[in-house]
Amino acid sequence: MNRRAFHTAIVACCVPSGMVTAQPAPDKRTLDQYLAVRRHEAAQLAAAGRHRQAIAVLGACKERVEKELQQIPGRGRADAQDTAYRAEMSALGKWFREQQSAARSGKTSLRQVLSTYEARKAALDKTYGAERRDRARAAQVESGRQARAPLRLKLADLDEQSSAYYPALGERERAAADLLGAWLTRLETYSQLKREAEARGAAARLLGLKSRNPMAYDAAGRFFQERSDFTRAAGAWREVIALIESGRALIRKPSMPGAVAPKQHPQLEEFYRELAYCLHRLNQPAESRQALDRAEALRRSSESAAIKAQEARRR
């Protein structure tokens, strides 16, 4: 007997015959109404010093928002025609690879192979309406993204509120993680919605957190770099590099038993390369070369360490 059935049986034994047990009334409030009431309740609990209860209330709010998110379709599902199209394309790809090998050995013409491949692919696309179906699926994905965005922003608000309550419980790292998660979610969501001013503000806020987690600087740096704001991007890369090299950065511990944490942050080389690119775009060739040389030195060091570790395992 599972826990639910056991609980039902116990209640049935305890309730006198003919008595109807009261059932909780369904919550008919809208999500916004529910969140407003519950967030206010959490704030009152926190003001009374009951921070753990306040966090539990916000946890229930997050669960409700997550349930709403699960009701929104994420992407178009493959149907029978999609499956058939993919099978045909897979067979065509196999034929193309075989013909490429034959062309390299001089048995056929590569130009003729390419022409035949393109003609057969165009026929398949026309038969299955691939382009139209791709457009429809892309529209469905975008519609789902637009529908999820307000809910994701609600989750960010809940994370930020809970981050204010953890320090009273001595859980400062959890507070920092929730606050970081809130602003990462906002940056991603505003970027997807093309709300540039708010996205730019979120990126700046991430840098302003002075987090020990390199993810904050990585997200902000890429945001500014993609928009050709190389000065601010370079600033983000310099900050994260300084954080890592100071030894204060958070490094995710390996999940496998017996695994040893790397001596250097696995992204440090990548951050130096991003910095080198930004400096190059800012017409600072000497500084760019210096950053690139540092990245190459890190790559050689990482490869040498990997070889030594492999040799040690063989012994």
Closest by Cα among 160, 165, 161 to 46: 165
- For residues 188 and 199, give the distance between their C-alpha atoms in angstroms, rounded to a whole number: 8
The correct CATH number of 210-251+262-315 out of 1.25.40.10, 1.10.600.10, 2.70.50.60, 3.30.43.10 is: 1.25.40.10
How many CA atoms lie within 13 Å of 47's alpha carbon, on the beta-carbon side? 6
> What's the whole-model pTM score?
0.70
Q: What is the pLDDT of residue 263?
A: 61
- For residues 123 and 145, give the distance between their C-alpha atoms in angstroms, rounded to a whole number: 32
- Residue 227: strand, helix, or coil: coil
Q: What is the pLDDT of residue 205?
A: 97
CA distances from 34 to 25, 30, 50, 57, 166 (A): 14, 6, 21, 11, 23
End-to-end C-alpha distance for the chain, whole angstroms: 53
- For residues 169 and 227, give the distance between their C-alpha atoms in angstroms, rounded to a whole number: 40
Angle, to 10 degrees, between the axis of helix 130-163 and the axis of helix 80-104? 110
Q: What is the pLDDT of residue 29?
A: 78
Q: What is the pLDDT of residue 314?
A: 72
Residues of the chain with confidence (pLDDT) below 50:
1-22, 24, 76, 259-260
Look up tokens 């116990």; give the residue. 10
- For residues 279 and 306, give the distance between their C-alpha atoms in angstroms, rounded to a whole number: 30
- Residue 259: strand, helix, or coil: coil
Encode pLDDT of 129-146 as tens digits: 766 666 766 676 777 788
- Any idea where the domains of the chain sit in the sequence? 30-71+147-195, 74-128, 210-251+262-315
- For residues 290 and 297, give the distance between their C-alpha atoms in angstroms, rounded to a whole number: 11
User: Which residues make Cβ contacts (< 8 Å) with residue 129, sequence separation at least 6?
Assistant: 81
